[in-house]
Chain A
Amino acid sequence: MSPTVRRQNPIPVPARLVSGVTVSIPPSTTGSQPLTMAAADGPADGAAGGPRPVIEVAGLAKRYGEVEAVRGIDLTVRAGETFGFLGPNGAGKTTTIKILCTLANATSGSARVAGFDTATQRDAVRRNIGLVFQDTTLDGYLTAEQNLRFHAELYGVPKAAVLPRMRQVLDMVGLWDRKDSLVSTFSGGMQRRLEIARGLLHAPHVLFLDEPTVGLDPQTRSSIWAYINELKGREDITIFLTTHYMDEAEHCDRIAIIDHGQIVAIDTPEALKASIGKDRVQIQTADDQAAIAALAGTFGLDAAVHEGAVTFSVASGEQFVPRLFTELGIPIRSVSVSRPSLDDVFMSYTGKTIRDAEASGTDAMRQMAARFRGRR
């Protein structure tokens, strides 16, 4: 694929369409495209000379009365990155997105998106972002096409580009043939796909996805991820997403773990896992209590029974296993060694496991309301 390059001063770009029709779209009148994407830049670890950051957040805090939803976070997202915000319900993910999207004012701190200040240059920020919220923001009384048209008009998408672009984004999420159906007849997964299509309609530089897969069945979740991954390859776009599903964070180039409104760790998923430095070893023995005592006595390891097996963490698990057999002195029936998962990462930074099973009360209620509405 050919990486797309955005110019500093855009000239009229004849866009090549799927159908082969060429439409010339006038350049943005902003005169300053704040983003530069150079074809050769790799994710150069924030070093100078890398692409300009697309999202810059410094000391951001938000207080709702007594509740400190966000307590001073700092982060930088580079152009083209897929950045994940990982944290349990109530961690402050949505609040952060709302501030970045100009929907809420920060209590303190600052944020810049696509080079513009989210507090003082709202319109410029809004022109450059696309949004998919946690709760549906579609109009169920309109058809899919009417929803997209509404969006195109509000964003001032050049008239000649509306139809081809609409076709392109709807094709991408496989909804072109359903464009004339009322949105209220769509399943949850289809609505989410339509929202992603709509968020992309005006070709934003940054796409925000707030829990794009929450409340969807596993199959639909993976199809949503297929779209997002395809999107990364096709569009010249930076993605900022939140999730409380560990496995989804693996799709991100970098993730920040947020807990109680604070970022506790920020890095690539691999680096975060490596930072734990230890593998998880689980053994089945004839006498678990004796094994735990022996592990403590012989190796100085802290072990406990988890999932019906004696479990402990140790550096370089594979190399440790032979010693275990010879020195433990208790018969071992089976052994398994696993690399740390993001669950372990989360556990090690926050001291608890992420509770993704139960949606919080308010989330469940919102989903019920959305379902109720979908049925009307």
Chain B
Amino acid sequence: MIMVTDTAAPATESAIVESIRVAVPEHGLQHDLRAISIVWRRELIRFRTDRLRAVTALVQPILFLFILGTGLSSLARGSMPGNVDFKTFIYPGVLAMSVLFTAIFSAGSIVWDREFGFLREILVAPVSRASIVIGKCLGGATIATFQGIIFLALAGFAHVPYNPVLLLTLVGELLLLSFTLTAFGVMMAARITQFQAFMALTQMLVMPLFFLSGALYPLSGLPGWLTILTRIDPLTYVVGPMRHAVFSHLSLPTGAQHVLAPGLTWAGWAVPVWLSLGIVAVMGLAMMSIAIEQFRKTE
């Protein structure tokens, strides 16, 4: 049909500025990868431009390590096996904490995007819900790991050696933890429509997760009820291996390591590190799958 222009767009101009033909491709792996990558990149751009967020996310772990840690280390001095500084003892747990908020808030930006409309732009795109959720989980995992690496730079203050193998191990474990936490956040964000509610809910969950993970105390010799609760907390399965990694790079009498980093047990059975981390990975993947399912639903 002939299209009529109401405005004074001159015919010559229309002819010159011919529309650029773009064919949106049908679903394919390449398209999905591009979608995952751009969702991931957006997370990185946001993290880079929002310096304030990175700084504020450091406040809490620094308080725990330097204020609580220093305060308690004077109390614990002499009673710590092998004369280990209390700060060294809590460092792995506080390191895990340094990624907690960043990962979950990165997922929470979905709720924010929903409130401010950007989520619609994403949901109406001809791209699988899976690639959106995967991109989001990887993005959150990446920026939370960056956040953890900033805190990792402070390891020396807690007398944790800058050993390359140790650092790589810790970064790997942080990445896994960040991924699972983001997946958890995305799963929650799929159902929650108000940012306030999301914040309140995560605040309520995050601190118990942290306190039950054994970040601040050894996991052996606890009363039965607390032992059970710590074994239910997924964070335990990352904090344990992280502490194991740190303590195996310290030169300590064997007795000290046994008391302070006894390793995780299930009714007396020592859970190997690989299984511990495997559990976290499986949980992350499961929660991500649930999130994908939830984003498939339409109003």
Binding site for B on A (CB under 8 A): 1-4, 10, 13, 15-18, 23, 25-30, 37-43, 51, 78-80, 98, 101-105, 123-124, 126-129, 131, 133, 135-142, 146, 149-151, 153-158, 161, 164-165, 168, 198, 201-203, 226, 229-230, 232-236, 251, 369-370, 373
- What are 13 A-B contacts defined by CB distance under 8 Å? A15-B20, A42-B2, A51-B1, A131-B121, A131-B124, A138-B117, A139-B42, A151-B125, A157-B22, A203-B19, A229-B6, A233-B9, A234-B17
| Chain B residue nearest to A105 in the complex (CB) | B298
From B30, B123, B125, contact of A155 by CB (8 A): B125
Contact indicator B116/A369 (Cβ below 8 Å): yes
| Chain A residue nearest to B27 in the complex (CB) | A123
Selected interface stretch from B43-51, B256-264, B282-290: B43-51
| Chain A residue nearest to B12 in the complex (CB) | A1
Interface residues on B, range: 35 or more
Q: Mark B110-127, 1 if CB is under 8 A from A, else 0.
A: 000101111111111111
A127 to B124, CA, bound (A): 9
Contact indicator B121/A137 (Cβ below 8 Å): yes
A164 to B126, CA, bound (A): 22
Contact indicator B298/A102 (Cβ below 8 Å): yes
Residues of chain B within 8 A of A201, CB atoms compared:
22
Residues of chain B within 8 A of A138, CB atoms compared:
117-118, 121
Residues of chain B within 8 A of A51, CB atoms compared:
1
Q: Mark B29-42, 1 if CB is under 8 A from A, else 0.
A: 01100110110001
| Chain B residue nearest to A43 in the complex (CB) | B1
Contact indicator B21/A15 (Cβ below 8 Å): yes
A127 to B128, CA, bound (A): 12
Say yes or no: A139-B5 contact (C-beta < 8 A), given A29-B26, A105-B298, A153-B37. Answer: no
Contact indicator A103/B298 (Cβ below 8 Å): yes
| Chain B residue nearest to A234 in the complex (CB) | B14
| Chain B residue nearest to A153 in the complex (CB) | B38
Separation in Å of the A166 CB from the closest CB of chain B? 10
- Listed residue (B9, B35, B113) with the most chain A CB atoms within 10 angstroms of its CB: B9
A78 to B34, CA, bound (A): 33
Residues of chain B within 8 A of A27, CB atoms compared:
23
Q: Which of B201-254 contact A (CB under 8 A)?
A: none
Contact indicator A1/B5 (Cβ below 8 Å): yes
A-B contact count (CB 8 A): 189
Residues of chain B within 8 A of A203, CB atoms compared:
19-24
Does B165 touch A at the CB level, under 8 Å?
no
Contact indicator B20/A103 (Cβ below 8 Å): no
| Chain A residue nearest to B112 in the complex (CB) | A373
Contact indicator A28/B26 (Cβ below 8 Å): yes
Residues of chain B within 8 A of A161, CB atoms compared:
20-22
A131 to B115, CA, bound (A): 18
Separation in Å of the B115 CB from the closest CB of chain A? 8
A98 to B117, CA, bound (A): 13
Question: Knowing that A25-B20, A40-B2 are A-B contacts, what are 8 other residue pairs whose CB atoms are under 8 Å apart, sorted by A's residue number?
Answer: A28-B23, A123-B27, A126-B126, A138-B118, A165-B22, A198-B121, A233-B3, A236-B19
Contact indicator B3/A168 (Cβ below 8 Å): no
Does B7 touch A at the CB level, under 8 Å?
yes
Q: Which of B264-280 contact A (CB under 8 A)?
A: none
**Interface residue SS majority, chain B:** loop
Does B25 touch A at the CB level, under 8 Å?
yes
Residues of chain B within 8 A of A157, CB atoms compared:
22, 24
Binding site for A on B (CB under 8 A): 1-7, 9, 11, 14-28, 30-31, 34-35, 37-38, 42, 45-46, 49-50, 113, 115-127, 298-299
A37 to B26, CA, bound (A): 22
- Listed residue (B15, B26, B115, B117) with the most chain A CB atoms within 10 angstroms of its CB: B117
Say yes or no: A18-B127 contact (C-beta < 8 A), given A142-B42, A203-B22. Answer: no
Separation in Å of the A343 CB from the closest CB of chain B? 21
Closest 7 CB pairs of A and B: A233-B5, A28-B23, A153-B38, A126-B126, A137-B117, A203-B22, A154-B125
From A10, A17, A103, A156, contact of B124 by CB (8 A): A103
Separation in Å of the A185 CB from the closest CB of chain B? 13
Separation in Å of the A186 CB from the closest CB of chain B? 14
A236 to B1, CA, bound (A): 10
A250 to B12, CA, bound (A): 27
Contact indicator A153/B5 (Cβ below 8 Å): no
| Chain A residue nearest to B46 in the complex (CB) | A141
Say yes or no: A105-B26 contact (C-beta < 8 A), given A3-B1, A37-B1, A135-B117. Answer: no
From B19, B24, B50, contact of A156 by CB (8 A): B24
Say yes or no: A233-B14 contact (C-beta < 8 A), given A79-B1, A142-B42. Answer: yes
A156 to B42, CA, bound (A): 16
Contact indicator A28/B24 (Cβ below 8 Å): yes
Contact indicator A10/B23 (Cβ below 8 Å): yes
From A80, A158, A373, contact of B22 by CB (8 A): A158
Residues of chain B within 8 A of A198, CB atoms compared:
121
Separation in Å of the B222 CB from the closest CB of chain A? 44
Residues of chain A within 8 A of B299, CB atoms compared:
98, 103-105
Say yes or no: A18-B17 contact (C-beta < 8 A), given A39-B2, A154-B127, A229-B5. Answer: yes
From A135, A156, A168, contact of B20 by CB (8 A): A168
- Listed residue (B1, B19, B45) with the most chain A CB atoms within 10 angstroms of its CB: B1
Contact indicator A28/B46 (Cβ below 8 Å): no
Residues of chain B within 8 A of A101, CB atoms compared:
124
Say yes or no: A158-B23 contact (C-beta < 8 A), given A102-B298, A131-B124, A137-B118. Answer: yes
Residues of chain A within 8 A of B118, CB atoms compared:
137-139
A80 to B122, CA, bound (A): 27
A146 to B43, CA, bound (A): 12
Residues of chain A within 8 A of B27, CB atoms compared:
123
A231 to B45, CA, bound (A): 32
Contact indicator A230/B121 (Cβ below 8 Å): no
A51 to B126, CA, bound (A): 25
A245 to B176, CA, bound (A): 53
From B3, B5, B125, B298, contact of A126 by CB (8 A): B125
Separation in Å of the B34 CB from the closest CB of chain A? 5
